[in-house]
Structure 1
């Protein structure tokens, strides 16, 4: 029986990065599975004129192996548009181009298996048994890497009205037959996705809405903090300092850093403001309302959908009549059903989230030589960079090194200008005050 060194569950950018780095190591027997028919990165969010908030150099491989044939620069050269890419001088690449890059890599890796849904995972005889929907015999592996992502977060106030026709999550936006002509549309969420959808509606790409409401819990439509010292939070040295902290301190720190990863790009805010100004100059009838600092309190049917919100600024109640509601409300953790056979062996907190070790493996009661690595599951253990693509490749290399039991990839990065931890603990005996 062919026992794999690693089976990856789900093929998104994170597991794709691991697959690309494993390609350099023929001694590793790996396989990755996904129920999708082929690779596509959040197809429902591939709207026109939407861009990444991360540098193209933070791709699948470059930070640990710039010579890799799977780098974004290698992709540009293969597509014969290296110079055109440089000439455009855009600060970020489009979601469409990034998705095309990821698909280009996926087509070159023989370890990826699509149209393969995983039903359950069990553990017997010191190996994991991965049961695929169409196979009776399981795939056997020493280790697993869980990369199936998170589920859309649906606010409690709208759950009763949530369905695919007129109340849907932003991740499904591009998949819908969109005609917003003369419709009352409400966008909920003040992050990047909400901003992109609001701009998309303003520009009338899918018809001219009768009314557009943009609602957010935040005090205003706030920019992402992309300044240089803030970006020190997205570095290996910061993770080294952050990981040993007490859990309560980590939670407080991460919550304070929200706008470093979940704000709106300055370019998007500028485009929205310019669009609003141009409409005012042109004398167009105002069909939009920007409404920050509101908490949703209810949603009900009455001649269409009606949203009720609490205005935290003046402590009043508001109602928005809507034909369509788009939830740009992010994602939340959910324990995958396929883990049910071994769920009782995993170390979970009260929110059913994994407790992770430094090497991104889940703490569990099984043999330490058999590991379940979890991707995008360590925001409160490894820091704010964990759900982002900024340190994706560095994390992938950490996992590959751990599989190999040696430092195959050099992960040292000593160029950090901020001292996060006290380098020399205070010794009171050496600092006595004179009388």
Structure 2
């Protein structure tokens, strides 16, 4: 094989779709599951895609590709109705169906192929899957995704009553008439809260929503902030110092991790309706500037579901005050983290830097201690070097196109689009038009 992809989320599915038309490229994509699934654990009713549907598998680099979302709608006979619905976004459930539609047509995908190990053998990567023939390839693309991040103190309690938001629709905790706490105020936390208060059959007795931020903050979806999700900015960001990149990621966080304004409105409106129309049905506390520092079971507590009561320790960041809060169910919407895949252990010492980090090049290949003619590429593992867009769907097609070009050694897809509105250092302003004002006078700065 010219390339083998491990894991099949949206990122490697995008790469598979872009490589599919290339007859001279032999590709194989290996996925442990038997079908395509996308965040099924938090696929709550009404969950909306946070980006435009044009940011699909292929459109931003290959609008005529048959695996575009618009072609999916046309093929399924849905295009006119989708347009009549006057929507600029679509539901996550529909986008998952689109992904499943595309995955079902790409011949290079192999389901039920869980990868056990990757090692070097006879000048190639050898990928071993249980009960399957080994796959040998010149290039390896890691797309096995990130892991739900549960605080250390909560891990021993993980189960039906303590869970990550990614498990909500899998575990399905009993919430009706019980005391529920949601920790985290990003999009996932807000979706969990909205689901809890909108489900009459599962409405809690009380809800505590804890945010470490100064409020329940909206996503920064303004046009100029969205320039951070432009290819020109990725290249600019890559050229900065590690210290500067880390600082920028902190300052830009709400452009990725905030909550859609429509969802915040839905939550506020629902709480208002409950207060006015059914004032004794749900008690709630919305806590900001708070951090949950510990969680333990309290056998002496009066649990409403027949299990031990949970007790959370919460610190008020404004006052330093410590308080406790009892709950029957605690859902942590605390994001995801990248972990070194177990199947790469044979190559660990050749891949990781001295501080345990990956050295990612501009084309998403790794600078590793291996043969020059073998490449390892990463999907969704380069936020520290490539910026805030990396874990987002916005540039998934563009990143896959850059990886595809690097693998085949030629420009198949245009990726060097420098027509950004903001003039990042090293990036041309939009178009080739002259500046609106110039001056030859010494000492007069350009605007």
**1:318 match:** 323
- CA RMSD across the alignment: 1.7
Q: 1:157 touches 1:296 (CA, 8 Å); kept in 2?
A: no
Matched, 1:395 2:413: no
* Residue of structure 1 aligned with 2:247, choices 244, 252, 263: 252
* Residue of structure 2 aligned with 1:337, choices 342, 365, 378: 342
Q: 2:147 touches 2:337 (CA, 8 Å); kept in 1?
A: yes
Q: 1:353 touches 1:377 (CA, 8 Å); kept in 2?
A: no
**1:140 match:** 136
Q: Helix, strand or coil: the match of 1:345? A: helix
**1:427 match:** none
* Whole-angstrom CA distance in 2 between matches of 1:71 and 1:397: 14
Q: Helix, strand or coil: the match of 1:66? A: coil
* Whole-angstrom CA distance in 2 between matches of 1:386 and 1:42: 17
Q: Helix, strand or coil: the match of 1:384? A: coil
Deviations 1:83-127 (A, max 9, x none): 211122233211100100000000001111111111100012221
* Residue of structure 2 aligned with 1:408, choices 398, 409, 412: 412
* 1:349–1:57 Cα change, 3 Å: farther
* Whole-angstrom CA distance in 2 between matches of 1:282 and 1:371: 61
* Residue of structure 1 aligned with 2:6, choices 9, 21, 25: 9
**2:297 match:** 301
Offset of residue 412 of structure 1 = 3.1
Offset of residue 414 of structure 1 = 3.0
Offset of residue 411 of structure 1 = 1.6
How many residues are matched? 422
Q: 2:418 touches 2:427 (CA, 8 Å); kept in 1?
A: no
**1:208 match:** 203
Matched, 1:353 2:357: yes
Offset of residue 423 of structure 1 = 7.4
Q: 2:366 touches 2:376 (CA, 8 Å); kept in 1?
A: yes
Deviations 1:345-384 (A, max 9, x none): 013363x331100110111011222111011111010111
Question: Within 5 A, what are the aligned runs for 1:104-143?
Answer: 104-135=101-132, 137-143=133-139
* Whole-angstrom CA distance in 2 between matches of 1:124 and 1:215: 51
Offset of residue 254 of structure 1 = 1.0
Deviations 1:299-336 (A, max 9, x none): 11112110010011232112111111111111011100
**2:156 match:** 160
* Whole-angstrom CA distance in 2 between matches of 1:380 and 1:340: 22
Q: 1:188 touches 1:215 (CA, 8 Å); kept in 2?
A: yes
* 1:91–1:205 Cα change, 3 Å: farther
* Residue of structure 2 aligned with 1:327, choices 332, 336, 339: 332
Matched, 1:375 2:362: no
* 1:296–1:417 Cα change, 3 Å: same
**2:304 match:** none
Q: Helix, strand or coil: the match of 1:335? A: coil
Offset of residue 289 of structure 1 = 1.2
* Residue of structure 2 aligned with 1:290, choices 286, 289, 292: 286
Q: 2:56 touches 2:397 (CA, 8 Å); kept in 1?
A: yes
Offset of residue 280 of structure 1 = 2.1
Segments of structure 1 that go 5 or more residues without pairing to the other structure are: 425-429
Query: Structure 1 stretch 285-294 or stretch 395-404: which is displaced more?
Result: 285-294
**1:174 match:** 169
TM-score by length of 1: 0.94
* 1:50–1:423 Cα change, 3 Å: closer
Offset of residue 281 of structure 1 = 2.2
Offset of residue 10 of structure 1 = 0.2
Q: Helix, strand or coil: the match of 1:261? A: helix
* Residue of structure 2 aligned with 1:46, choices 30, 38, 43: 43
Query: Structure 1 stretch 176-185 or stretch 139-148: which is displaced more?
Result: 176-185
* Whole-angstrom CA distance in 2 between matches of 1:417 and 1:207: 47
Q: 2:217 touches 2:258 (CA, 8 Å); kept in 1?
A: yes
**1:236 match:** 231
Q: 1:233 touches 1:384 (CA, 8 Å); kept in 2?
A: yes
Offset of residue 148 of structure 1 = 0.3
* 1:422–1:8 Cα change, 3 Å: closer
Matched, 1:37 2:34: yes
**2:20 match:** 23
TM-score by length of 2: 0.91
Question: Within 5 A, what are the aligned runs for 1:412-423?
Answer: 412-421=416-425
Matched, 1:279 2:279: no
Report runs of 4+ in structure 1 exceeding 4 Å deviation: 430-433
Q: 2:2 touches 2:26 (CA, 8 Å); kept in 1?
A: yes
